[in-house]
Amino acid sequence: MRPDVSKQLITIGQLAGYAGVTIKAVRHYHRVGLLDEPVRDTSGYRRYTAQHAIALVKIRTLADAGVPLARVKELLAADPQQFASAVADIDRSLRERAAAIRRARTRIAQLNAGDSLFVSADLAAYLGRLRKIGVKESWVATERDLWILMQAVSPEAAAGWVAEKFAALKDPEFRSLYLAYLDAHDWSPDDPRLERLADRTERWMLKRSRRGKRVAPATGVDPAINQLIAASTGSSPAWARLSEIGAERRTRSAG
Amino acid sequence: MRPDVSKQLITIGQLAGYAGVTIKAVRHYHRVGLLDEPVRDTSGYRRYTAQHAIALVKIRTLADAGVPLARVKELLAADPQQFASAVADIDRSLRERAAAIRRARTRIAQLNAGDSLFVSADLAAYLGRLRKIGVKESWVATERDLWILMQAVSPEAAAGWVAEKFAALKDPEFRSLYLAYLDAHDWSPDDPRLERLADRTERWMLKRSRRGKRVAPATGVDPAINQLIAASTGSSPAWARLSEIGAERRTRSAG
DNA sequence: TTGCTCCTCACGTCACGTGAGGTGGC
DNA sequence: TTGCTCCTCACGTCACGTGAGGTGGC
């Protein structure tokens, strides 16, 4: 026979203090049926037993582990096997949360460090390469924006094209052509250099297609992508002219 | 001059997909003024730029690090110094959250393992000692409940008393007396063994007080504590009798 | 008497989610 | 025509917190 210590009671404040929670939280647990309502004293005050303290610590332990209160309620009524398997699940989710925190830490550390946070690792490497070969920062930013939109529209395709263009940059003639195109952006559409640039481009494309490689993303893949490309082309009279010259030559060679 | 790629727009679904959030979340960020409303197309659909994608990724990076959206809004408008110091704060809080997760993991692991979760480490050690010297499980549970209530009522005092009682258990005579008291709980109040137990108790207390040690928690410390002790005493006629005998002797020796 | 603890509503908050009812492009 | 994406309300959810207005023991 145990002496009836359980009839000796503590107040809601003492209970809350013991478990490290607020009084409001304790009352909330009563409302949702998580913690039994204790007896009341003559003033209407709740009076708790050690059993309540134990139950409350249990509730908080589960809640602190991220278990929703509705699930906590189920678990308090579960048999030992169910409970043990739930504990294993909870531990898994805690490990996952720890991993998410590690990821969050590396990401906030990148907030001050360029584009790497906003684009894929492959794209960041590609943009870095552009800077290295002397592309102006404003152009790099434009490429970044273009690729972000492509990635948003068609993630798999964009990833493939980044890889292709990254690889093409190893070819010195492609690098040279690429830089020349950027220069040409602000030329007049009558500039005679445009014809020579078109010639160089044609030669390079011929050589490349003989090696069985694609020159640019296949047209018709995604209308949104084509629009993006057209928008780039249309952003400069000189580029528009280059595009025309290219189309004319293709028509001639096909006809 | 940058070609105006920024006029090429993506839908809310594509934007959300790029940033890994839901469409509802994006609309929520518009409502609370976190993310600029973009232009609308002829159907009234929102059309986003790469800048929106970058802003959204930034928002999510901060939000995923546990920063409240109201604070995210402030940070997007903060100068670089404020921002950098905020990032340091955020990292600190993330480390703290990682520590909280580690604590949660050790605590849920204890859910299946006895009392250690519900009582202080000192008390758990004390209860373990009781089991070792042969105290019945039901009595150990009673002590645990009593100490939980004491701890709730007066944490510092309870911690001190546990330490004292733990130390006293090293004294073989105290251990023997303790076990005898538990036996005596169910004796008749007329049992002649009660007088002999009272004698032994008196001798032990005398010896102990000569060594300048306290015998029990000082009375009058906290009325709630005294109530707890009285409740234990009152839970058994034999214990009540022992308490009476003790009081009589003290009166005699004082008179 | 004063301060402290407790009581019960009712409503607020945070970050979205749910669902109704509807429109527009392929 | 059908399915898909998008639109705007309005209300719901989760785990409490805030605050009003009041009572009871030292």
Q: Give me the residues of A, 169-188, that contact B with CB < 8 A.
A: 185-186
pLDDT digits (tens, 9 = 90+) for A164-184: 888 888 989 888 888 888 888
Find the mean pLDDT for residues A100-124: 92
B90: confidence class by pLDDT, cuts 50, 70, 90: very high
Instruction: Quote the pLDDT of residue B230.
Output: 62
Range B176-187 average pLDDT: 88
Is strand C in 7 Å reach of the CB of A13? yes
CA dihedral B58, B64, B65, B71 (to 10 degrees): 60
Strands (E) across B13-92 are located at: 39-40, 46-47
At A189, list the tokens. 């559409």
Interface of A with B in 190-219 (CB under 8 A): none
Question: Residue A15 above 70 pLDDT?
Answer: yes
**DSSP secondary structure letter of residue A136:** -
- Cβ B170 vs Cβ B126: under 8 Å: no
Strand D close to A153 by CB, under 7 A: no
Give the pLDDT confidence of A80-93 residue by residue, as tens digits.
999 999 999 999 99
Q: Which of A223-227, B13-17, B21-25 has the lowest mean pLDDT?
A: A223-227
User: Do residues A101 and A93 make contact, with C-beta atoms less than 8 angstroms apart?
Assistant: no
**Do B32 and B69 touch, CB atoms closer than 8 A?**
yes
State yes or no: pLDDT of B219 exceeds 50. Answer: no
CA A180-A146-A170 angle, 5° bins: 45
**pLDDT score for A138:** 87
Percent of chain B predicted with pLDDT > 90 = 50
Judged by a CB distance cut-off of 8 A, whether residue A86 touches chain B is no
Range among A201-210, B4-13, B147-156 rated most confident? B147-156
Q: Is the Cβ atom of A45 within 7 Å of strand C at any atom?
A: yes
Q: How confident is the model at residue A94 (pLDDT cuts 50, 70, 90)?
A: very high
Instruction: State the Cα–Cα distance between residues A7 and A9, nearest whole angstrom.
Output: 6
Cα A169 to chain center, whole Å? 27
pLDDT tens-digit readout, B132-181: 999 999 889 988 998 999 899 888 888 888 888 888 889 898 888 888 88
Q: How many residues are given for chain B?
A: 255
Q: What is the pLDDT of residue B165?
A: 86
State whether A49 and B145 contact (CB < 8 Å): yes
Coil, helix or strand for A40? strand
Q: What's the per-residue H, E or C state across B80-110?
A: HHHHHHHHHHHHHHHHHHHHHHHHHHHHHHH
Task: Supply the pLDDT for residue B8.
Answer: 57
Tokens representing B180? 């005898």
Q: What was the pLDDT predicted at A224?
A: 52
CA distances (Å), origin A88, targets A5, A85, A91, A98, A224:
35, 5, 5, 15, 47
Q: What is the mean pLDDT of residues A132-155?
A: 90
Look up residue B39 and give its DSSP letter.
E
Which residues 6+ apart lie within 8 Å of B144 measured at CB? A50, B115, B118, B119, B123, B127
Residues of B in contact with A151 (CB under 8 A): 18
Task: Tell me the pLDDT band of A127, cut-offs 50, 70 and 90.
Answer: very high
Please tell me the pTM assigned to this model: 0.85
Q: Is the pLDDT of residue A98 over 80?
A: yes
Q: Given an 8 Å threshold on Cβ–Cβ distance, is B4 in contact with A228?
A: no
Task: Answer whether residue A226 shows pLDDT above 70.
Answer: no
Q: What is the structure's pLDDT at A81?
A: 93
CA dist., res. A210 & res. B198, Å (int): 110
The per-residue pLDDT for A1 is 34
In sequence order, what are the beta bridge partners of A10?
A48
What's the rounded Cα separation, in Å, for the pair A228 and A224? 6
pLDDT at A126: 93
Distance CA(B129)–CA(B136), nearest Å, equals 12
Band of pLDDT at residue A112, cut at 50, 70 and 90 = confident
Q: CA A138, A144, A147, A151 torsion: positive or negative?
A: negative
Let me know: does B5 contact A150? Beta carbons within 8 Å.
Answer: no
To the nearest whole angstrom, how far is the Cα of B92 from the nearest Cα of chain A?
Answer: 9
- At residue B231, the pLDDT reads 63
**Residue B214, pLDDT above cutoff 80:** no
B124-133 per-position pLDDT tens digit: 999 999 999 9
Residue B101 with chain A: CB contacts under 8 Å: 94, 97-98, 101
**A172 CB less than 7 Å from any atom of strand D:** no
Cβ–Cβ gap B232/A153 under 8 Å: no
Helix residue ranges per DSSP H, A65-171: 69-76, 80-110, 121-132, 137-153, 155-168
Assess whether pLDDT exceeds 90 at residue B7: no
Amino acid at B179: L
B42-CA/D14-C1' distance, Å: 38
Average pLDDT in chain A: 86
Average pLDDT over residues B168-195: 88
Strand C lies under 7 A from the Cβ of residue B22 = yes
Our measurement of the distance from residue A31's CA atom to the centroid of its chain's CA atoms, rounded to an integer in Å, reads: 39
Q: Which of A14-28, A47-61, B179-193 bottoms out in mean pLDDT, i.e. has the lowest?
A: B179-193
Q: Where does residue B57 rank: exposed (0-12), middle (13-18), buried (19+ CB within 10 A)?
A: buried
User: Does B113 or B27 have the greater pLDDT score?
Assistant: B27
Return the higher-pLDDT residue of A207 and B106: B106
Q: Which tokens belong to B133? A: 């010297």
Model pLDDT, residue A72: 97
Residue percentage of chain A with pLDDT more than 70: 87
What DSSP assignment string belongs to B129-146? Answer: HHHHTT--HHHHHHHHHH
Instruction: Please state, for a pLDDT cut of 90, what percent of chain A lies above it.
Output: 50
CA angle at A137 for the pair A132 and A141, rounded to the nearest 5°: 110
pLDDT-derived band at A154, boundaries 50, 70, 90: confident
Q: Which residue has the higher pLDDT, B185 or B216?
A: B185
The pLDDT of residue B3 is above 60: no
Q: Tell me how crowded residue B6 is: count the other CB atoms within 10 A of its CB.
A: 16
Distance between the alpha carbon (CA) of A230 and the C1' atom of C21, Å: 38
| Per-residue pLDDT band at A233 (split at 50, 70, 90) | low
CB A13 within 8 A of CB A27: no
The residue with greater pLDDT, A8 or B99, is B99
Report the distance separating Cα B92 and Cα B97, nearest Å.
9
pLDDT at A255 over 70: no
